Amino acid sequence: MKFNTKTIHGGQQPDKAYGAVMPPIYQTSTFAQSTPGGHKGYEYGRTHNQTRTPLENALASLENGNYGLAFGSGLAAIDAIIKLLKSGDEVISTSDLYGGTYRLFTKVFENYGIKFHFIRMENASNIEAYINENTRLIWTETPTNPMMNVIDIEVTAAIAKKHNIILAVDNTFATPFLQRPLDLGADIVMHSATKYIGGHSDLVMGALVVKDKEIADKLYFIQNASGAICGPMDSFLALRGIKTLHVRMQRHCENGKAIAEYLAAHPKVEKVYWPGLEDHPNHDIAKRQMDDFGGMISFVTKGDDYDQAIKIVENLKVFTLAESLGGVESLAGHPASMTHASIPKATREKIGVVDALIRLSIGIEDVDDLIEDLAQALSK
């Protein structure tokens, strides 16, 4: 089954009770049993729910995995992955990553004796220098948030397998429409399904997809034991979003290309970060492992001026100044004061998240309106 068909039918079937095409919202916390332990596969809403199950099956189908898990947020999904580890274990993570992930790693799990190494991974050969007998996990984002760096998943996976280390890939920016990390050798794929998977800025959710049953069983246990699951209404909304993922992503990519090229040619713009530009450092890797280049763009104006960046985002009219990304509407953000504010300034600036950096999530509006909006904001 090809991807565009999977978004409609993958891992799903009409409801067995009455044939409903969309899975009904089973808004219940518990299920009747005929005898103690005698139930129809559902006993308690934290463990299983008939709306969440088809969502998890659909997620697995999209990523060519065998097992899908849905959580109450992207960070809850990441939390479950780190709970596979124990005190004394070590994680190698890309240094350019979402601020909430960095905060979870450094402010929560370092307190439990897990050590994190934050390194540049654009050159995968950097990784092996940090591997030792305690290394249990390699954590990557690609493209990264917000610098749009591209990491070679296939090469990183080969390194991980050589040393018997789990490789987890945050695939939020690309979505399975653009890249499928499990096919390239990753062990776990993570999504903030709040973003492109849901696609309409109306839910908060996380997702994991794996192929290996042993890893899946451990994650299912953590999901149930820790309880950070998503509710049936959000599961329904995510399923609805998945059905238009392919057509939305096509427009995100088309608009993203036009805007990246517009900004790259603008006299007031110093640098544009988008994997589809030929001067992107890992453009060739992006071409190899991605089917297109997405709708996430970051840029810096000439002068590298904080006040100028703030003025630009405040003057946008069609773009909304807001946290998050991946919805049908275009959003603009200032990472240093918003999504990455929890990362110390010196650490941020080492990876390129300077005070003048602006991040755009390109929506599916008419691209001429978006370019006109950027033009008027940049002119001020």
Among the listed residues 6, 136, 180, 195, the single catalytic one is 195
Write the DSSP assignment of 203-257 as a string of letters: ---EEEEES-HHHHHHHHHHHHHH--PPPHHHHHHHHHHHTTHHHHHHHHHHHHH
- By CB atoms closer than 10 A (0-12, 13-18, 19+), residue 236 is buried
Question: Which stretch of 163-167, 228-232, 239-243, 339-343 has the lowest confidence by average pLDDT?
Answer: 339-343
Whose structure tokens read 């760096």?
Answer: 149
Active site residue 46: yes
SS3 assignment, position 44:
strand
Question: Which stretch of 7-16, 214-223, 277-286, 370-379 has the lowest confidence by average pLDDT?
Answer: 7-16
Record the tokens describing residue 244, joined without a space.
């238009």
**Per-residue confidence at 356, pLDDT binned at 50, 70, 90?**
very high
**For residue 29, which amino acid is it?**
S
Active site residue 317: no
Residues 343-370, mean pLDDT to the nearest whole number: 94
Q: What is the pLDDT of residues 97-141, one digit of tens each?
A: 999 999 999 999 999 999 999 999 999 989 999 999 999 999 999
Residues 209 and 80 sit within 8 Å (Cβ to Cβ): no
Residues recorded for the chain: 380
Q: Between β-strands 90-94 and 115-119, what pairing exists: parallel, antiparallel or unpaired?
A: parallel
Mean pLDDT of the residues in the chain:
96
User: Measured between alpha carbons, how far is 309 from 322 in angstroms, rounded to an integer?
Assistant: 14
So what's the pLDDT on residue 179?
Answer: 98
Among the listed residues 15, 42, 46, 262, the single catalytic one is 46
Q: What is the pLDDT of residues 292-329, one digit of tens each?
A: 999 999 999 998 789 999 999 999 999 999 999 999 99
Among the listed residues 26, 98, 196, 273, the single catalytic one is 98
Active site residue 262: no
- Give the residue among 172, 206, 161, 166 at the shortest CA–CA distance from 188: 166
Record the tokens describing residue 28, joined without a space.
């219940």
Active site residue 288: no
So what's the pLDDT on residue 72?
Answer: 98
Residues 275-296, mean pLDDT to the nearest whole number: 97
* In the chain, beta strands by DSSP E: 67-71, 90-94, 115-119, 135-141, 166-170, 188-192, 206-210, 269-273, 296-301, 320-321, 331-333, 357-361
Residue 67 φ then ψ, to 5°: -140, 130
User: Measured between alpha carbons, how far is 8 from 196 in angstroms, rounded to an integer?
Assistant: 16
Record the tokens describing residue 152, joined without a space.
């070679």
User: Measured between alpha carbons, how far is 260 from 246 in angstroms, rounded to an integer?
Assistant: 21
Record the tokens describing residue 104, joined without a space.
């979870």
Q: What is the pLDDT of residues 201-253, one digit of tens each?
A: 999 999 999 999 999 999 999 999 999 999 999 999 999 999 999 999 999 99
Residues 70 and 59 sit within 8 Å (Cβ to Cβ): yes
Q: Which residues contact 283 (CB under 8 A, 6 or more apart)?
A: 150, 275, 276, 277
Among the listed residues 79, 96, 152, 170, the single catalytic one is 170
User: Measured between alpha carbons, how far is 242 from 197 in angstroms, rounded to an integer?
Assistant: 6
The tally of CA atoms less than 13 A away on the side-chain side of residue 295 is: 28
Residues 337-352, mean pLDDT to the nearest whole number: 89
Domains of the chain in start order, with CATH, are 3-242 (3.40.640.10), 246-379 (3.90.1150.10)
